[in-house]
Amino acid sequence: MRDIKEAYKDFPILQRQHHGHRLVYLDSGATTQMPQQVLDTVNDYIKHSNGNPHRGAHVLAIEASKAYEGARDTVQKFINAAHREEIVFTRNTTESLNLIANSYGMHHVKKGDKIVITVAEHHANLVTWQHVCQVTGATLEYMYLDDYGHLLPGEMDKIDEHTKILAFAHVSNVLGMSFPVEELIKRGHAVGATVVLDGAQSTPHQKIDVQALDCDFFVFSGHKMCASQGIGVMYAKRQFLEEMPPFLLGGDMIEYVQEQTTTFNEIPYKFEAGTPNAHGAVTLEAAIHYLEEFGMDQIQAYEHELISYVLPKIIAMPHVHVLGSHDPNEKHGVIAFTIDDVHPHDVAQILDSYGVCCRSGHHCAQPLGAYYEVPASCRLSMYVYTRKEDLDAFLEALKHVRPTMGFND
Ligand SMILES: Cc1ncc(COP(=O)(O)O)c(C=O)c1O
């Protein structure tokens, strides 16, 4: 097992300078960087084996198919899915959720039914369900939170016999917190609801076992875990996939096409229309192998160490307010905050002038911003290559924000 403290050396982009400072990248919740190992693997694939998977009998088509299907096997093991057919490649979490909403939601939800989500959902796991409800006449119901990001007492009771779908983030991309995942899934199943878990912010940072979780759908994006942009995953229990109609239509997802009718390919190919992102799948497999060099437990423990180091220091700074829990044990990889009298975009720009990359804005969670009356915030988010030195550089740059804006206290 490799020591995670060495990981930063694998990332060429972290050698960059910006505004005369070492580049400090603290926006991994938005997208992560790629290590040399992943870059070399995809480069080698493109140089030697690039072809169109599942199409053709020549060497490059065969090698491309092997690489693409090998990536599926690796993803299956990584999240402990029972069957390789349960892994559908998509572009990202958003596309995975759209697939579920269209191929499952639209067909299983009707007027009088409910879809239950939390107020902290990313728009990808919210607008999709809004749309299903608008089309079907079902009701979208929200579970609300206390001031520190915990579900308010009684909110889980909204999961009742009218609930057909329960969808929520495994880890919130703003609060950095998990809801009581096991209990929610149990409650959902107890009333016969289908449970969709958005793993965009959890899969990169902790061991995932979809069988132990027992969720019906689980989705995530490669680009948040050292793979390239444009490759994502939708996991679903096999019986769901067998029964669901396809989402996109076209090449590769068919079995036999006649002038007026078509029969569809077996799962998972029924859901993978058109030339797939084999390059992305190769990076995802390489990224998983890379993360496994450290082990997900070490990654999680290391990030906890970083959060425990930086969170109390941020909280202690005057005029700085952290969203969600202030307890490092409840935070995973993400800390969102505001600074009195300074717009988050200005905060991010000032940090950038010190070489520190942080996200600013509504983080694609506008209902949460409206609920807390904090329409925008800054967010630092970390990954395997983040170091204490990076957090020190961030804390130092943060001290300059209010003075730069003309405040003296
Ligand atoms: C919790 C959560 N869900 C969904 C998404 C959407 O991911 P993508 O943009 O890769 O589709 C994100 C992205 O930040 C996220 O954090």
DSSP per position, 58-103:
SHHHHHHHHHHHHHHHHHHHHTT-S-GGGEEEESSHHHHHHHHIII
Domain assignment of residue 308, yes or no? yes
Ligand 1 proximity of 202 Cβ (cutoff 6 Å): no
- Residues 57 and 187 reside in one and the same domain: yes
Q: Among the options 133, 215, 226, 364, which is catalytic?
A: 364
Residue 175's nearest CA partner among 360, 335, 31 is 335
Ligand 1 proximity of 96 Cβ (cutoff 6 Å): no
Q: What is the pTM of this model?
A: 0.98
Query: Based on the structure, what is the number of domains in the chain?
Result: 2
How many A from CA of 200 to the centre of ligand 1?
5
CA distance linking residue 226 with residue 10, whole number of Å: 11
Domain assignment of residue 30, yes or no? yes
Ligand 1 proximity of 118 Cβ (cutoff 6 Å): no
Pairing label, strands 356-357, 24-25:
parallel
Domain assignment of residue 372, yes or no? yes
- Residues 242 and 124 reside in one and the same domain: yes
Domain assignment of residue 69, yes or no? yes
- Residues 281 and 306 reside in one and the same domain: no
Confidence tier at 239 by pLDDT (50, 70, 90): very high
- Residues 200 and 94 reside in one and the same domain: yes
- Residues 282 and 156 reside in one and the same domain: yes
**Tell me, what CATH number does 227's domain have?**
3.40.640.10
Domain assignment of residue 409, yes or no? no
Ligand 1 proximity of 27 Cβ (cutoff 6 Å): no
Domain assignment of residue 113, yes or no? yes
- Residues 77 and 210 reside in one and the same domain: yes
Domain assignment of residue 400, yes or no? yes
Structural domain including 331 reads: 4-35+295-404
- Residues 316 and 262 reside in one and the same domain: no
Do 347 and 360 touch, CB atoms closer than 8 A? yes
Confidence tier at 56 by pLDDT (50, 70, 90): confident
Residue with CA closest to ligand 1 atom 7: 93
Domain boundary among 243, 277, 292: 292
What per-residue confidence (pLDDT) applies to 55?
86
CA separation (Å) from 303 to 147, 204, 231, 265, 316? Answer: 24, 11, 24, 42, 20
Residue 357 appears among annotated catalytic residues: no
Do 81 and 213 touch, CB atoms closer than 8 A? no
Furthest-apart CA pair in the chain: how many Å? 75
Pairing label, strands 217-221, 194-198:
parallel
pLDDT tens figures, 84-120? 999 999 999 999 999 999 999 999 999 999 999 999 9
pLDDT tens figures, 266-309? 999 999 999 999 999 999 999 999 999 999 999 999 999 999 99
